[in-house]
A and B are shown apart, each in its own frame.
Chain A
Amino acid sequence: MIKASLRGLLQRKLRLSLAVFAIVLSVAFLSGSLVLSDTLNARFTALFSTINQNVSVVVQAKDPQAVEPARLTDAQLRALSEVDGVKAFSPDVSAQGVIPFRGTDGEPVSADAALGFGVDGKDDPLGLVELREGRWPTAEGEVAITAHTAELAKVKRGDQLKVYLPVLNEPRSFTVVGVAGYSGGRDSLAGEVVVMFQQAFAQQTFYGATGLYGGASFAAEDGVSDDVLKQRIVEQLPDGFKALTGQESSEEQSAQVGVLFDVFKYILIGFAVVAGVVGVFLIFNTFNIIVAQRTRELALLRALGAGWGQVAGSVLLEALIVSLVGATVGLAAGIGVAAAGEAAITSEVALPSAGLVVAPLTVILAYLLGVVVTLVAAFVPAVRASSVPPVAAMRDVVRPDKSLTALSIVGAVFALPGIGLVLLGAFADLGGTAFLVLLGGAVLVFIGALLLSPLLARPIVRGLGALIGRGSAGNLGVRNAARNPRRTAVTAAAIIIGVTVIGMTATVVQSFKTSLEDIMGENIGVEVMIQASVTAAPDGRQGFNPKALEQVRAIPGVKEAAAWHFDALGVSVAGQPQAFGIFATDVGQAARMFPIDATDGTIRTLAAQELVLDDNIAETLKLKAGDRTPVAIGGVTRDYTVVGVYQATPIIQGILVGEAAVADFPGPLAFQGFVSLNDGVDAAPVVERIETIMKDYPGVQVGDRQSYVDQATASYDFLLIAVQILLLVALVIALLGILNTLVLSIVERTRELGLVRAVGLSRSGLVWMVTVESVLITVFGVLLGLALGVGLGAAFTKALMTLEFATVIAIPWLELGQYLLAAVVAGVLAAVIPARMAARLNVLDAISYE
């Protein structure tokens, strides 16, 4: 029995190779994702181990992100350094966002990390940083820089270097007195930019007073283990600090940095899921057709005494072997994907090499995925194979297509409540829960639609066929596509899945963009936008000094310039934390620039401890004009008076306070600036002038109205592109699935092909017949997917409209047309090989094919 199924497998290896390919893709993405993330982690661990090579214990603030993180005083540092067993120590005075400007063109140097340190004029007691030329800075106006920084900033010893200082929120100029490197002759550890200041200046600038330290690193004397030293230091540790061994610190830091690269991991896992889901359909279809074609052979086995369990087992054994082959190839391909991904990432970020890491877990998961996907997909065909009656060996047992009624009823049982939930989520005002209701409904509708798709296949394919299936060859293709609705539907399922997701995303994104553009259109009086790029939750410590707007107002043609401050860190109103933060600006001015309609109270320039908010938040917090409520900003709680409530729009929503409140913000920088111009003034030259003014603030962008819309929609475009790439993966697998089905169908219909050739159909007619069938299957899938996707997308948009995130439902016809076109092209491509196969059949052999 096993021998028979193995021999059968070899004979069908061509047909099964496509099923194997689906497994390969899925497993490759999964294992690629895991190997890449393990490999990068190993690299970061190696990096931080280098940094901490001579460090036994690190002392640092428990919460370095706090508005006022804990600092070590001179006395506390001295006490720690005198702990028994400390051989050497190095205090830490540092800040992030210390950005040098290039000596040549004055542009800020771009690097993933830009750090400033305070140094005490002596060599690094822990031996990590080494002076290469010149000396350490000893005066306020002096700096030393790493060799990598010198290269990026294009300066050398003796040159002037402009550096942006994050706490002062402005650039200063310094003389470069020294160039340093790292032990082992390295110019940088990971491509970071480092500027070293005189220690007292750094303390004053970064921490606001001399004699303060952010933490310290300690080296142990010989014979004192890291753990022992850590224990002794912990006993002396001031409040708000924690101690880690060098090893622990390396692991913690690499884990933090590794998170930044998780996006690659998730994208690859997304691909793996799509490939896996789509692969199930492809494998299911392949085994189903193979079983159908082997009916006589299976019946013979049954007639010769094989039990149904043996027959089912032989199909599952075949599936198991296929899955093992697929998983093995997929794992190898995944390691290749990871190597390519690593090469791409490390070409941007210099990291010490640690080799590719293929963890045992990766191997186990790869095989598990391959085997589970295949066996799940092959289960129904296996059961079907076992139900072949032995008599089928003697004569053709007509097994009529099972009625679609039962399947369709189950589909309707899913779809109808799903539609109900979707409508409820879209039209009932449910607030935040609307999306949960919608999501549940969408999943039900989707499952229902997949189950109903065989029922829909025949009428839709025939309807489409009437359009493209001209001529007798085309007509035959149409009938072939419609003859087995289950097969057509399962083959199209991969496309339905992919296109539904993309259609939904495209509809929501298009609606959002159109809404924004509508509002940004004529009724807003803002022509130029200034925007800080966000690398952390905005809290006033990133952006530009609002004083810079004085220079902007002086530009001819500028009518008004408004600074908007934004704090998204630890804000709460009426005791409720506000994840979307709080804005501070001149609200009266804002009302002149943006359409802000009061629904309660008045909208005007606010005094201290006054606020306005949008109607959605007012409803949630149960606030109305005249109410007093506690507002916590930057750790300070004050009572504010609600002056007005306004109608939320996609561009203006949230809680607004007056500029006086900025004093409570963690930082004084403005997050956004809006500039209106006098009538007839061209925006382009003004944008250029403002860009020059904002040059001192790294990460601040200036653009016209359109660039603001583009920026606001950029993240949605990114989402759309990510989903489109997913679609591409699904489409490639779907294409293979169609190819597979067509090849198997052609083998199955060899006699018919021979006949139509015998009665005069030309080779090109046969090619057209196969192509029509293929295109009909893809277009059927795309149309169903688009209908589902656009419908669900519109429902989600409707819910967004209730929350004022959008104003219109916009259907991206152009994109939809492109997807349809892509499907037609895919259909034609998928038909190439099967059509050639069909055309090459010898007429005589085909007619007498058994």
Chain B
Amino acid sequence: MTSPVTDTPVTGAGAAARAADLWKVYGSGEAQVIALRGVSVELERGRFTAIMGPSGSGKSTLMHCMAGLDSATRGQLAIGDTALNGLGDAGLTRLRREKVGFIFQQFNLLPTLTAEENILLPLAIAGRKPDPQWFKTVIDTVALGDRLHHRPSQLSGGQQQRVACARALVSQPEVIFADEPTGNLDSRSGAEILTFLRRSVTEHGQTIVMVTHDANAASYADRVIFLADGQIVDELLEPTADAVLDRIKRLDVVGTGATE
């Protein structure tokens, strides 16, 4: 097993987001659930990373903590050169506004806004003007064409998720976190979304972190991190769908063996 995962805090300047010895514990006493057990990971700038793992492995919790949506019980977190520890709500809000983009499984578009207004929402909130060149590039990438002035309720699921992708891309954040972005889509729409994400990494150097349980989706990434029981148990570079599936099977065997 290759093991590039480090056990010590990372300080590399090339990291877009970092976690060091990250613990996340829910509840206390008998009801205590340990979601993350000392995870350390560094997500390189300009790369597409997928986080995989079975249900309850802590993959979503890891992403939420790294994105500043959830607080860590212990450990160091940073996005770019900003440490998340100790940031209050105002600091986290500013961080989300300036350095983070999100794509959700449920699309989460505002029904009162048109597609274009939804895309520009983060910039509007931050009080920034869109770079017209970049805006055009993003719009072209997601290929919404004449649907820009439609409301979410008039768009298909795939179109809505493309709007959500454009919304994440338009502010050129330090890192985009995507939580099961294809989970609610049919396979063709899902493939379109993954292609956009792949292209934005390859062509524009965007950093993307994606949580998924779909081996095919993970195959679009540069690197796949496997989580089980709150720990990083494996990693795969330049994955193919088959390689990912193969690795998952091995993990299952290991897991089954461990419990026996």
Residues on A facing B (Cβ under 8 Å) = 398, 471-473, 475-476, 479-480, 482-483, 751-752, 754-763, 765, 843-844, 847-848
Q: Which residues of A contact B127 (CB under 8 A)?
A: 471-472
Q: Which 9 pairs between the two chains have the least Cβ-Cβ distance?
A: A760-B97, A472-B124, A479-B112, A759-B122, A755-B108, A762-B93, A844-B69, A760-B96, A472-B125
User: Is the CB of B113 closer than 8 A to any CB of chain A?
Assistant: yes
CB distance from B118 to the nearest CB of A (A): 10
CB distance from A458 to the nearest CB of B (A): 12
Q: Which residues in chain B, 103-161, are within 8 Å of chain A measured between CB atoms? A: 104, 106, 108-113, 121-122, 124-127, 153
The answer to whether A480 touches B69 (Cβ under 8 A) is: no
Most buried by B among A398, A480, A758, A763: A758
State in angstroms the CA–CA spacing of A398 and B122 once bound together.
27
The answer to whether B125 touches A763 (Cβ under 8 A) is: no
The answer to whether A763 touches B124 (Cβ under 8 A) is: no
Closest Cβ neighbor of B110 among chain A residues = A752
Q: Which residues of B contact A843 (CB under 8 A)?
A: 69
CB distance from B147 to the nearest CB of A (A): 18
Q: Which residues of B contact A754 (CB under 8 A)?
A: 108
Closest Cβ neighbor of A844 among chain B residues = B69
State in angstroms the CA–CA spacing of A844 and B97 once bound together.
15
State in angstroms the CA–CA spacing of A350 and B109 once bound together.
69
State in angstroms the CA–CA spacing of A762 and B88 once bound together.
11
State in angstroms the CA–CA spacing of A762 and B89 once bound together.
8
Known: A472-B125, A847-B104. A755 touches B93 (CB 8 A): no
User: Is the CB of B213 closer than 8 A to any CB of chain A?
Assistant: no
Q: Which residues of A contact B258 (CB under 8 A)?
A: none
Q: Which residues of B contact A758 (CB under 8 A)?
A: 69, 96, 102, 108
User: Is the CB of B21 closer than 8 A to any CB of chain A?
Assistant: no
The answer to whether A760 touches B110 (Cβ under 8 A) is: no
The answer to whether A473 touches B125 (Cβ under 8 A) is: yes
CB distance from A45 to the nearest CB of B (A): 63
State in angstroms the CA–CA spacing of A160 and B122 once bound together.
90
Q: Which residues of A contact B97 (CB under 8 A)?
A: 759-761
State in angstroms the CA–CA spacing of A847 and B104 once bound together.
9
Residue A755 contacts which of B101, B110, B112, B126 (CB distance < 8 angstroms)?
A: B110
Residue B113 contacts which of A398, A479, A757, A844 (CB distance < 8 angstroms)?
A: A479
Q: Which residues of A contact B106 (CB under 8 A)?
A: 751, 847-848
Closest Cβ neighbor of B96 among chain A residues = A760
User: Is the CB of B252 closer than 8 A to any CB of chain A?
Assistant: no
Given contacts A755-B108, A843-B69, 14 further A-B contacts (CB under 8 A): A472-B124, A472-B125, A476-B110, A479-B110, A480-B112, A752-B110, A756-B125, A757-B93, A758-B108, A759-B101, A759-B121, A762-B93, A847-B69, A847-B108
The answer to whether B112 touches A472 (Cβ under 8 A) is: no
CB distance from A295 to the nearest CB of B (A): 16
State in angstroms the CA–CA spacing of A758 and B173 once bound together.
13
The answer to whether B90 touches A762 (Cβ under 8 A) is: yes
The answer to whether A844 touches B125 (Cβ under 8 A) is: no
User: Is the CB of B229 closer than 8 A to any CB of chain A?
Assistant: no
Q: Which residues of B contact A755 (CB under 8 A)?
A: 104, 108-110
Residue A760 contacts which of B70, B98, B111, B153 (CB distance < 8 angstroms)?
A: B98
User: Is the CB of B45 closer than 8 A to any CB of chain A?
Assistant: no
State in angstroms the CA–CA spacing of A847 and B122 once bound together.
16
User: Is the CB of B64 closer than 8 A to any CB of chain A?
Assistant: yes
State in angstroms the CA–CA spacing of A439 and B215 once bound together.
74
Residue B124 contacts which of A475, A482, A762, A848 (CB distance < 8 angstroms)?
A: A475
Q: Which residues of A contact B126 (CB under 8 A)?
A: 760
CB distance from A644 to the nearest CB of B (A): 71
State in angstroms the CA–CA spacing of A615 and B94 once bound together.
77
Residue A763 contacts which of B93, B98, B109 (CB distance < 8 angstroms)?
A: B93
Residues on B facing A (Cβ under 8 Å) = 64, 69-70, 89-90, 93-94, 96-98, 101-102, 104, 106, 108-113, 121-122, 124-127, 153, 167
State in angstroms the CA–CA spacing of A132 and B98 once bound together.
93
State in angstroms the CA–CA spacing of A654 and B136 once bound together.
81
Q: Which residues of A contact B124 (CB under 8 A)?
A: 472, 475
Known: A476-B110, A759-B102, A760-B122. A398 touches B64 (CB 8 A): no
Q: Which residues of B contact A844 (CB under 8 A)?
A: 64, 69-70
CB distance from B52 to the nearest CB of A (A): 20
State in angstroms the CA–CA spacing of A762 and B126 once bound together.
10
State in angstroms the CA–CA spacing of A844 and B167 once bound together.
18
Q: Which residues of A contact B98 (CB under 8 A)?
A: 760
Closest Cβ neighbor of B61 among chain A residues = A844
CB distance from A510 to the nearest CB of B (A): 41
The answer to whether A756 touches B110 (Cβ under 8 A) is: yes
Closest Cβ neighbor of A759 among chain B residues = B122
Q: Which residues of A contact B93 (CB under 8 A)?
A: 757, 760-763
Q: Which residues of B contact A761 (CB under 8 A)?
A: 93, 97, 125
State in angstroms the CA–CA spacing of A763 and B69 once bound together.
14
Q: Which residues of A contact B167 (CB under 8 A)?
A: 759
Q: Which residues of A contact B104 (CB under 8 A)?
A: 755, 847
State in angstroms the CA–CA spacing of A121 and B102 once bound together.
102
Closest Cβ neighbor of B95 among chain A residues = A760
Closest Cβ neighbor of A839 among chain B residues = B89
State in angstroms the CA–CA spacing of A752 and B118 once bound together.
12
Residue B125 contacts which of A482, A760, A847 (CB distance < 8 angstroms)?
A: A760
State in angstroms the CA–CA spacing of A760 and B126 once bound together.
7
CB distance from B193 to the nearest CB of A (A): 18
The answer to whether A483 touches B112 (Cβ under 8 A) is: yes
Q: Which residues of A contact B90 (CB under 8 A)?
A: 762-763
State in angstroms the CA–CA spacing of A756 and B97 once bound together.
10
CB distance from B63 to the nearest CB of A (A): 10
The answer to whether B153 touches A398 (Cβ under 8 A) is: yes
CB distance from B153 to the nearest CB of A (A): 7
State in angstroms the CA–CA spacing of A473 and B251 once bound together.
47
Q: Which residues of B contact A480 (CB under 8 A)?
A: 112
State in angstroms the CA–CA spacing of A476 and B118 once bound together.
11
Closest Cβ neighbor of A850 among chain B residues = B106
* 17 A-B contact pairs sorted by A residue (CB < 8 Å): A398-B153, A472-B121, A475-B124, A479-B113, A751-B108, A755-B109, A758-B96, A758-B102, A758-B108, A760-B97, A760-B126, A761-B97, A762-B94, A763-B89, A844-B69, A847-B106, A847-B108
State in angstroms the CA–CA spacing of A751 and B102 once bound together.
14
CB distance from A849 to the nearest CB of B (A): 10
State in angstroms the CA–CA spacing of A765 and B108 once bound together.
19
Q: Which residues of B contact A756 (CB under 8 A)?
A: 110, 121, 125
Q: Which residues of B contact A471 (CB under 8 A)?
A: 127
Residue A759 contacts which of B94, B96, B111 (CB distance < 8 angstroms)?
A: B96
Q: Which residues of A contact B64 (CB under 8 A)?
A: 844
Q: Which residues of A contact B110 (CB under 8 A)?
A: 476, 479, 752, 755-756
CB distance from A41 to the nearest CB of B (A): 58
Q: Which residues of B contact A473 (CB under 8 A)?
A: 125
State in angstroms the CA–CA spacing of A483 and B121 once bound together.
17
CB distance from A397 to the nearest CB of B (A): 12
Q: Which residues of A contact B109 (CB under 8 A)?
A: 755
Most buried by B among A471, A479, A480, A761: A761
State in angstroms the CA–CA spacing of A758 and B110 once bound together.
13
Q: Which residues of B contact A482 (CB under 8 A)?
A: 112
Q: Which residues of A contact B89 (CB under 8 A)?
A: 762-763
State in angstroms the CA–CA spacing of A765 and B90 once bound together.
11
The answer to whether A476 touches B69 (Cβ under 8 A) is: no
CB distance from A739 to the nearest CB of B (A): 21
CB distance from A481 to the nearest CB of B (A): 10
The answer to whether B96 touches A476 (Cβ under 8 A) is: no
Q: Which residues of B contact A752 (CB under 8 A)?
A: 108, 110-111
State in angstroms the CA–CA spacing of A763 and B97 once bound together.
13
CB distance from B227 to the nearest CB of A (A): 18
Closest Cβ neighbor of A400 among chain B residues = B153
Known: A751-B106, A843-B69, A844-B69. A759 touches B125 (CB 8 A): yes
State in angstroms the CA–CA spacing of A483 and B153 once bound together.
13
State in angstroms the CA–CA spacing of A476 and B124 once bound together.
10
State in angstroms the CA–CA spacing of A475 and B167 once bound together.
18
Known: A758-B96, A843-B69. A476 touches B102 (CB 8 A): no
